[in-house]
Amino acid sequence: MQDVNSTPVPQGELSLQTMAMPKDTNANGDIFGGWLLSQMDIAGAIAAAEVASGRVATVAINGMVFLTPVHMGAIVTCYADILDIGRSSVRVMVEVWINSQHDGEPIKVTEGEFVYVAIDENGRTRAIRS
């Protein structure tokens, strides 16, 4: 359990880091939620493909909540935590963090649970070898 006075810490392993660019903003200058979602999907897929030892496809996104806007120029960091490995599926919790523009403190932007299924060269579900 995290101490109330301590700095928040991401859960999982670093999976992806990128910069939010002007082309990814809405009319208010904040980053589009869809762009952020795509970065999360990539980060989760990287982690799932490693577990599955090969190709995976996204089959579900569960319980995603946006906690704060992301500003243009922010360094967006995605952390992936493997929640469960099934016969052919992998559940991954993906957290997104940025650093505050004001004090550099880490800020959790969103999190979501992604489900991937291992697929073969023909796009058919395959078992994950253990």
The string of pLDDT tens digits covering residues 35-92 is: 999 999 999 999 999 999 999 999 999 988 899 999 999 999 999 999 999 999 999 9
What is the percent of the chain with per-residue pLDDT over 90, rounded to a whole number? 80
Write out the H or E segment, with its range, that includes residue 52.
Answer: helix 33-52
- Given a contact cutoff of 8 angstroms between Cβ atoms, the answer to whether 19 and 35 are in contact is no
Helix (H, G, I), strand (E, B) or coil at 33: helix
Find the farthest-apart pair of alpha carbons in the chain and give their distance in angstroms, rounded: 51
Q: What is the pLDDT of residue 101?
A: 75
Q: Which pair of tokens denotes residue 39?
A: 């970065």
Q: What is the pLDDT of residue 4?
A: 58
φ, ψ of residue 5 to 5 degrees: the values are -90, 0
- Write down the pTM of the prediction: 0.90
Among 84, 90, 83, which residue's Cα sits nearest to residue 126? 90
φ, ψ of residue 4 to 5 degrees: the values are -60, -35
Q: Give me the sign of the Cα torsion angle 104, 106, 110, 112.
A: positive
Which residue would you say has higher pLDDT here, 9 or 116?
116
Candidate CATH numbers 3.40.50.10860, 2.60.40.10, 3.10.129.10, 3.40.50.300; the one for domain 13-118: 3.10.129.10
